[in-house]
A and B are shown apart, each in its own frame.
Chain A
Amino acid sequence: MNFEDKDYRIRVGLAEMLKGGVIMDVINAEQAKIAEQAGAAAVMALERVPADIRADGGVARMADPDIIESIKKAVSIPVMAKCRIGHFAEAEILQALEVDFIDESEVLTPADNANHIDKWRFKAPFVCGCRNLGEALRRIGEGAAMIRTKGEAGTGDVSEAVRHLREVIGAITRLTVLPEEELFSAAKELRAPLTVVKMVAERGKLTVPNFAAGGVATPADAALVMKLGAEAVFVGSGIFKSSNPQQRAVAIVTAVAQYKDPKAVADCSRGLGEAMKGISAAEIPDENLLQVR
C-alpha cells in the first residue's frame, strides 16, 4: 500500500480526468459511437446491460474480448470493462486487452466471496462500488483508483445510489471532527486500514475520485447525484433501455455539465420520450439485490 507510488498516481490521474463527465454502458460499437457523440467521457463495454443481467438471471461474467475490441476501435474516449469481484484472471485479461479502466463489479456474479482483487499489482486502474465508507476505504486500501456508489444497478431507481452517496459523505464528515485518538477505533468500526482512515479524516474527502452509479435514468437523477457530491456519473441501463437513447444520452451529459443550473436541466429534460420502465429497488427481495455482493 503506497499512495505516493508514481504508477498509482497515474491511475488515480485518469480518474481525475473523468470528473464532471458521464460514463455510459454500451454493448456494441454503434452504441459506443452514440455515447461518444453525445459527449460521454468514457464508455463501459459490456455484453449485457445490468437490467438484462437482472432479467436473464444465471451467471454474469466478463464480456467477450471481441465485443471489447470492437468498442475500443469505434471510439477515442477511454473504454472501461467489468470483471467479477475477486476474479483477477479476468482482470489480467482486461489489462492485456489494454482496457483503460477495470470495474471490479457487483453487477457480475462474484468469483470470490471472501477476497477482492489485489489492485496494487495492476497497471490498469480499477473502480469499485461501495454502499458505505467502510467499503469505500477497504477498496481504496486494496488499490482502487476510483470509487463509485453501488446503487442498485439495472433498476432505474436512483434511491439506493442516493442512500450510498449520503452514507459515504456523511461518514466522511463525521470522521473529520473526531479527535485523532478516536481514529483507531473508527478504523476498527469501519473495518478499514488506519492509514486510509487518517488520510480521509484529514482531507474531508476520499483520496480518490468519488462517482455515482446504480439506477440513474433521467437528467434530473444525474443532477441529483452531482448535487449530493458525486464527482461524475455512471449510467448503465438508463440510456439504452429508454425509448430514445441518443437524445437521452445528450440530455444526461448536459445535466451533469450544468447540474448547478436547474433551468438548463429542465430544458434538456423536455421531450425525451419514455425513460426505462425500471423496478422499485424496495420491491426487490434481499437475496436478489446486487449491492450486497
Chain B
Amino acid sequence: MKKPILVGVLALQGDFACHLSQLESLQVAGCEVRRADDLNDLDALIIPGGESTTMSELIDRFDMRLKLTEFVRHRAVWGTCAGSILLARKVDDPRVRPLGAVDMVIRRNAYGRQVHSFYDEIEARLNGTVSRLKASFIRAPIIEELGGKVTILAEYQGSPVLIEQGRCLVSTFHSELHDNTLLTRYFLECIVLDGRKGCPG
C-alpha cells in the first residue's frame, strides 16, 4: 500500500470478521461499522455476507440509511453476497430495502436453500489479466439485470457474479472465506486507491 488507508466493514450482522482478518493479513487498517458516525473517517466500506433482511432492518433501526446511501454513492464500497443485495438498485423481495448504488436488479436465494449452496473456482478478468478465484456461493443471489455503466468482471453459469460500477465492487459469492486474498487486494489497490498501476492480476 502506498499510503495508509482505513477500511470499515459493516458489522450489524454477518461474516464481517472474515473480511477484517483478510484486511489484517494484508496489513491494512480495518474497523467495524455499527453506527452512522463510524463511517466518518473511512476511505472505503465493505458490506459483508449475512442476512440482507437483518442488515436492511438494522440500517433503518440505527438511522444509518441516509449516511450509508451518501457514502456508497461517493466512496469505494464492496458488497459480498448479502452486501451485493444491499447495493442493488432493485431487489426481488420487498423485505430488503437496498441502498441503490449499483444499477442492477438482483434476486435473493436464487440458487435455492442451503443444500444447494456450493463451492467452485471462477475466472475473473481483473485489471486485464484472467485470475482464478475461490468462490463459495452460500444461499447466493443472482444478478438478473444490469445497467449500461456496469462492467462484468466474472460470470458463472451465464450470470454475472463479479461486477463493478464506478467505485463499487459487487460479488455474489464469498472469496473472504478462503485463504486467497486476491479479490480483497483488487478492491484495495484498484478501487480504493484508484491507482491502475500495481493492481494484482
Interface residues of A (CB under 8 A from B): 6-7, 9-11, 13-14, 16-21, 36-42, 76-78, 95, 98-101, 123-125, 231, 250, 253-254, 257-258, 260-261
Residues of A within 8 A of B82 (CB): 17
Provide a sorted-by-A list of 7 A–B residue pairs whose CB atoms are within 8 angstroms.
A14-B139, A17-B50, A76-B95, A98-B113, A100-B113, A100-B139, A123-B115
Task: Report Cα–Cα, A41/B13, bound state, in Å.
Answer: 8
Q: A10-B136, A17-B82, A17-B138 are in contact. Are A36 and B95 (CB under 8 A)?
A: yes
> Which single residue of chain A is at the shortest CB-CB distance from B114?
A100
Smallest beta-carbon distance A236→chain B, Å: 19
Q: A20-B14, A36-B95, A257-B13 are in contact. Are A41 and B57 (CB under 8 A)?
A: no
Q: Are A260 and B53 in contact (CB under 8 A)?
A: no
Q: A10-B136, A76-B95 are in contact. Are A257 and B58 (CB under 8 A)?
A: yes
Q: Are A76 and B13 in contact (CB under 8 A)?
A: no
Q: Are A6 and B113 in contact (CB under 8 A)?
A: no
Residues of A within 8 A of B51 (CB): 17-18, 21, 41-42, 77-78
Q: A17-B49, A17-B138, A253-B54 are in contact. Are A10 and B13 (CB under 8 A)?
A: no
Task: Report Cα–Cα, A77/B93, bound state, in Å.
Answer: 12
Q: Is the interface of B mostly helix, strand, loop or mixed?
A: loop
In the complex, number of A-B residue pairs with CB atoms less than 8 Å apart? 111
Beyond known contacts A9-B136, A10-B118, A77-B51: 7 more, CB 8 A cutoff: A9-B119, A13-B117, A17-B138, A78-B139, A123-B115, A253-B54, A257-B58
> Which single residue of chain A is at the shortest CB-CB distance from B118?
A10
Q: Are B177 and A258 in contact (CB under 8 A)?
A: no
How many chain B residues have a CB neighbour from A under 8 Å? Answer: 36
Mark B13-46 against chain A: 1 for CB-CB distance below 8 A, else 0.
1111110000000000000001000000000000
State whether the Cβ of B90 lies closer than 8 Å to any Cβ in chain A. no
Say which residue of B11, B81, B115 sits within 8 Å of A124 (CB atoms): B115
Q: Are B115 and A17 in contact (CB under 8 A)?
A: no
> Which single residue of chain B is at the shortest CB-CB distance from A95?
B115
Q: A9-B119, A39-B58, A258-B34 are in contact. Are A20 and B13 (CB under 8 A)?
A: yes
Task: Report Cα–Cα, A169/B40, bound state, in Å.
Answer: 35
Q: Are B15 and A7 in contact (CB under 8 A)?
A: no
Interface residues of B in 125-180 (CB under 8 A from A): 136, 138-139, 174, 177
Task: Report Cα–Cα, A38/B56, bound state, in Å.
Answer: 11
Task: Report Cα–Cα, A40/B82, bound state, in Å.
Answer: 15
Task: Report Cα–Cα, A212/B148, bound state, in Å.
Answer: 46
Task: Report Cα–Cα, A82/B191, bound state, in Å.
Answer: 44
Task: Report Cα–Cα, A231/B14, bound state, in Å.
Answer: 10
Task: Report Cα–Cα, A124/B174, bound state, in Å.
Answer: 19
State whether the Cβ of B61 lies closer than 8 Å to any Cβ in chain A. yes
Q: Are A257 and B53 in contact (CB under 8 A)?
A: no
Q: A10-B119, A76-B109, A257-B12 are in contact. Are A41 and B50 (CB under 8 A)?
A: yes
Residues of A within 8 A of B18 (CB): 16
Q: Are A41 and B54 in contact (CB under 8 A)?
A: yes
Task: Report Cα–Cα, A13/B18, bound state, in Å.
Answer: 10
Smallest beta-carbon distance A207→chain B, Å: 13
Task: Report Cα–Cα, A101/B49, bound state, in Å.
Answer: 17
Say which residue of A6, A36, A39, A101 sits within 8 Å of B114 (CB atoms): A101
Say which residue of B54, B112, B115 sits within 8 Å of A77 (CB atoms): B54
Say which residue of A100, A125, A253 sits within 8 Å of B58 (CB atoms): A253
> Which single residue of chain B is at the shortest CB-CB distance from A80?
B114
State whether the Cβ of B89 lies closer than 8 Å to any Cβ in chain A. no
